[in-house]
């Protein structure tokens, strides 16, 4: 099975040793080599599975999932990734646990981890809370491992927090790399990360922040556009500027969707709530001010409605490079005339890009699997070669 050599040879050129026994919180905490190693392993695992080769590196073990927000793609991607490597998935339903009775994070983290090799958490709704909670869980299980409570230390994978959505954005970027035929073809490509109208409020900032935090590292020209008042975290913008300068790309901001779409090679129109509003909502929830939350929701919906013209229409797409930009969305999209009366994207645009969107989403299980693989396997080249050499069929009916 000689094709696996192309992946192991790439890994030979990358320094990814610090991923071993580590967690995956934010993309910008990883080096460029570590990012590329994750893509390489994701592609290798996909190639093996498509060749009907089993990629199970575990004979037993659990992947624990905790979703504090609704999910379809990420939930099933995490389950698929665990299964791909040989782990079974167990959901932690906080409503059925002792958390409601005052069980501490430290206690819960250890009690669910006796046979767990990975914990995936989505906690994206409250500024300053989600990522901090993930770190608290990771610290608790690491202490449990060092104290001899746990036989192994579970890897923590961020399935979306208040700051970043690494599994989504890493999948998006791998889709882009494949679409344009390699990272060598990305330099100078223009990415329009724009706000778009939604009839709902409170959507997390993690996708736009993840996009500008990662895509500026590839020498691309990233343009962030939104109506006035819909700013993201200022520190993420500063980091994007720094990334662009280091990669030879560019990062710009504007209050014009048209300016961002003009000559864009990639467009990513997606609704999000203003950073200031998300901070306010977090405080209201912390204070238990339910009436204040209702008032804020009404204010934000009213403000959103002032920007219904921020929609990805056929006319907007015609402004892109040759009218053929790659349209991205993390899904589900608010599709005008389909899932809502007025929304983020025109039905004709979405339908034309439906298959590419599904292909975009298909990268996520392999990205998550690669994150787990690299955190558990000390010598990834050796293990990939062994999987190929063993050539154990995934499915015996072929």
Dihedral angle over CA of 137, 138, 141, 143, nearest 10: -110
Phi, psi of 133 (to 5 degrees): -65, -40
Domain 4-164+364-390 in CATH 3.30.2320.80? The answer is: no
User: Residue 2 has what pLDDT?
Assistant: 86
Give the number of other Cβ atoms within 10 Å of residue 93's Cβ.
10
Joined tokens for residue 339: 């899932």
pLDDT in tens, 230-248: 999 999 999 999 999 999 9
Mean pLDDT of 74-83: 98
pLDDT in tens, 297-313: 999 999 999 999 999 99
Dihedral angle over CA of 38, 42, 48, 50, nearest 10: -170
What pTM was computed for the model? 0.97
User: Residue 95 has what pLDDT?
Assistant: 72
pLDDT in tens, 28-46: 999 999 999 999 999 999 9
Contact 350, 333 (CB under 8 A): yes
174: closest CA among 387, 365, 388? Answer: 365
Task: Give the helix, strand, coil percentages of the chain, each rounded to 5.
Answer: 50, 15, 35
**384 vs 103: CA distance, rounded Å:** 41
**117 vs 155: CA distance, rounded Å:** 6
Q: Three-state DSSP class for 61?
A: coil
Joined tokens for residue 297: 């929701």
Cα 132 to chain centroid distance, Å, stands at: 17
**261 vs 394: CA distance, rounded Å:** 44
Every domain of the chain with CATH number 3.40.50.1370 lies at 4-164+364-390, 166-361
The architecture (CATH level 2) of 166-361 comes to 3-Layer(aba) Sandwich (3.40)
pLDDT in tens, 178-237: 999 999 999 999 999 999 999 998 899 999 999 999 999 999 999 999 999 999 999 999
Percent of the chain with pLDDT over 70: 98
Query: What's the half-sphere exposure (Cβ side, CA atoms, 13 Å) at 294?
Result: 3
Return the ∠ at Cα 68 (arms to 66 and 73), rounded to 5°.
75
Contact 276, 230 (CB under 8 A): no
For residue 44, give the DSSP letter. H
């Amino acid at each position: 099975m000689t094709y696996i050599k192309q992946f192991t040879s790439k890994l030979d050129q990358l320094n990814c040793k610090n991923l071993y026994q580590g967690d995956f919180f934010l993309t910008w905490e990883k080096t460029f080599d570590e990012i590329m190693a994750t893509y390489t392993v994701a592609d290798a695992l996909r190639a093996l599975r498509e060749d009907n080769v089993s990629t199970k590196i575990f004979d037993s073990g659990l992947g624990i999932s905790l979703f504090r927000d609704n999910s379809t793609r990420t939930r099933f991607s995490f389950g698929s990734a665990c299964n791909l490597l040989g782990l079974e998935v167990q959901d932690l339903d906080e409503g059925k646990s002792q958390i409601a009775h005052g069980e501490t994070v430290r206690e819960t983290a250890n009690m669910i981890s006796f046979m767990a090799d990975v914990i995936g958490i989505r906690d994206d709704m409250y500024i300053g809370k989600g990522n901090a909670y993930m770190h608290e869980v990771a610290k608790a299980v690491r202490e449990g491992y060092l104290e001899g409570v746990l036989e192994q230390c579970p890897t923590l994978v961020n399935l979306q927090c208040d700051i970043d959505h690494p599994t989504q954005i890493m999948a998006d970027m791998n889709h882009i790399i494949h679409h344009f035929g390699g990272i060598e073809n990305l330099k100078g490509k223009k990415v329009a990360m724009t706000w778009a109208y939604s009839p709902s409020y409170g959507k997390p900032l993690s996708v736009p922040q993840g996009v500008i935090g990662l895509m500026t590292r590839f020498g691309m020209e990233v343009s962030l556009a939104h109506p006035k008042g819909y700013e993201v975290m200022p520190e993420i913008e500063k980091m994007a500027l720094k990334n662009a300068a280091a990669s030879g790309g560019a990062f710009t901001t504007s209050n014009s969707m048209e300016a961002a779409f003009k000559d864009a090679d990639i467009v990513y129109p997606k609704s999000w709530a203003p950073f200031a509003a998300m901070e306010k909502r977090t405080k209201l929830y912390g204070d238990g001010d339910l009436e204040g939350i209702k008032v804020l929701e009404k204010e934000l919906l009213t403000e959103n409605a002032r920007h219904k013209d921020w929609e990805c229409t056929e006319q907007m797409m015609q402004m892109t490079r040759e009218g053929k930009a790659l349209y991205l969305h993390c899904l589900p999209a608010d599709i005008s005339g389909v899932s809502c009366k007025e929304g983020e994207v025109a039905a004709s645009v979405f339908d034309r890009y439906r298959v590419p969107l599904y292909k975009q989403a298909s990268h996520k299980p392999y990205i998550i699997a690669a994150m787990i693989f690299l955190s558990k396997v000390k010598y990834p080249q050796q293990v990939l070669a062994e999987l190929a050499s063993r050539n154990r069929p995934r499915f015996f009916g072929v």
